[in-house]
Amino acid sequence: MVLYWNRPRECMERGQLEVLQLRRLQKTVQAVYHNVSYYREKMQEADIYPEDIRSLADVVNLPFTTKQDLRDSYPYGSFAVPLSQIVRLHASTGTTGKPTVVGYTREDIDAWAELTARGICCVGGGKDDVVQVSYGYGLFTGGLGMHYGAERMGASVIPTSAGNSRRQAMLMNDFGSTILCCTPSYALLLSEILKEAKIPVEDLKLKIGIFGAEPWTEQMRDEIQKRLQINAYNIYGLSEVMGPGVSIECPEKNGMHIWEDHFLPEVINPETGEPLPDGQIGELVISCITKQGMPMVRYRTRDLTSITHEKCACGRTHARIARIMGRSDDMLIIRGVNVFPSQVESALLAMGEVSPHYHLVVTRENNLDILEVQVEVSENLFSDKVRSLEGLAARVKKEVENTINLGCKISLVEPRSLPRSEGKSVRVTDLRKI
């Protein structure tokens, strides 16, 4: 049985959905033009005015908004309402530089809770669930975003936040958590901690994982599902646009529905800014069409994905975005070849011989870039038999090199020797830049 949180909205006929989107887009463009100086300046420069938005297709004539625009107006310059109407502030993690500040009105917080509730329901959650929120609480949007959604849905929420993993494992067992929300890397760590604490996963009530905030692969999903014996779903979001819950998978696990009654997505060629057709990978651009505090028009997420508008078997009509490959700034250029950490992850995990813990180190020697892939050997395979490890290293090297089309060095390291992450994991150390 398919569960919907808001069936009329989730299954809205596309024509009607587009009428709603256009009305909301027009209203948003009016609001930013009149209330945010950098939008007004950029629009005047491009000679485009709110009344020029007559159809959804006209969105492509609006200027893009970038992270730099937000940094330039730090902290409050991009708010479209006076601070007295802002009830909450968050900041992006700052993974790629100075954090950006985001502000929410009461209505924005309400819409966010609605959408995360919709998302939790979309993966099969309901009011009888016990939701353990192990995303960090605080300026990061992960914790509070999921918290409000789970609470709105009527579930019992355990606000553990990230960290203190032993205790997390104990509470998961004692409180009978049925849904776990955290980063995929933290889910992996929790599976190790459960093992260490001798809590058999069979004894847990856990059935669903809602994982996101960092790139992960299908292979990593298989690994986590196996270890925790759950159904793991991908959730996507970013603070500038809202926070977690912008987009989430349904039980079809075939792309993440992006809630188009609140967001207008586009995929563009990151080099030229031109729109790309469905199915082609490019940069995701999102316009928020209901946000009041800090509306984003054509925000360049830098996240790489593709989009499809095909109707999903679950009955929802909202478009779906593919698993995010990474951000354009995660892409490493090594000896002229483009490499994403997620490609290495899928090659490593597809082999089934090494653990899911890896780290990439890039150095430069004599003007030549060198990629080292450090990967932990699985506990059961770890032995002092240098010979068998050498054979394994050679196999890993072949697999990774075939996937990324680039020569690399493989360092097999001892189980549990690479750092673990409680939030967003850092997959790369690029010593060329230091």
| Interface with ligand ADP, residue 315, by CB under 6 A | no
Q: How far is the CB of 349 from ligand ADP (least distance, A)?
A: 16
Q: How far is the CB of 283 from ligand ADP (least distance, A)?
A: 11
118 binds, among Zn ion, ligand ADP, none (CB under 5 to 8 A by kind): none
In angstroms, the CA 321 to CA 351 distance is 27
301 binds, among Zn ion, ligand ADP, none (CB under 5 to 8 A by kind): ligand ADP
| Interface with ligand ADP, residue 161, by CB under 6 A | no
Q: How many residues does the chain have?
A: 434
CA distances to 64, 280, 369, 432 from 288, rounded to whole Å, are 13, 22, 40, 37
Q: What angle do CA 100, 106, 112 make, to 5 degrees?
A: 65
Q: What is the dihedral of CA 217, 322, 127, 103, to 10 degrees?
A: 100
Binding segment for ligand ADP (CB under 6 A), chosen from 42-50, 164-172, 235-243, 310-318, is 235-243
Q: Which of 212, 282, 293, 341 binds ligand ADP (CB under 6 A)?
A: 212
CB atoms within 10 A of CB 254: 14
In angstroms, the CA 107 to CA 277 distance is 33
**Residues 347-386 interacting with ligand ADP (rule: CB under 6 A):** none
| Interface with Zn ion, residue 252, by CB under 5 A | yes
Binding segment for Zn ion (CB under 5 A), chosen from 32-40, 243-251, 354-362, 400-408, is 243-251
How far the first Cα of the chain sits from its last, in Å, is: 54
| Interface with ligand ADP, residue 301, by CB under 6 A | yes
Binding segment for ligand ADP (CB under 6 A), chosen from 21-29, 49-57, 90-98, 381-389, is 90-98
What tokens does 207 get? 């059935």
289 binds, among ligand ADP, Zn ion, none (CB under 5 to 8 A by kind): none
Report the residue number, 278 or 379, with the smaller CB distance to Zn ion: 278
| Interface with ligand ADP, residue 327, by CB under 6 A | yes
- How would DSSP label each residue in 71-108? HHTTTTTT-SS-GGGEEEEEE---TTSS--EEEEEHHH
Q: Which of 29, 213, 307, 373 binds ligand ADP (CB under 6 A)?
A: 213
* SS3 state at 209: strand
Q: How far is the CB of 316 from Zn ion (least distance, A)?
A: 5
Report the residue number, 43 or 250, with the smaller CB distance to Zn ion: 250
Alpha carbon 356 to chain centroid, angstroms? 19
In angstroms, the CA 44 to CA 73 distance is 18
Task: Please report, as ranges, the residues that interact with ligand ADP according to CB under 6 A.
Answer: 92-95, 140, 212-215, 234-239, 301, 303, 324, 327
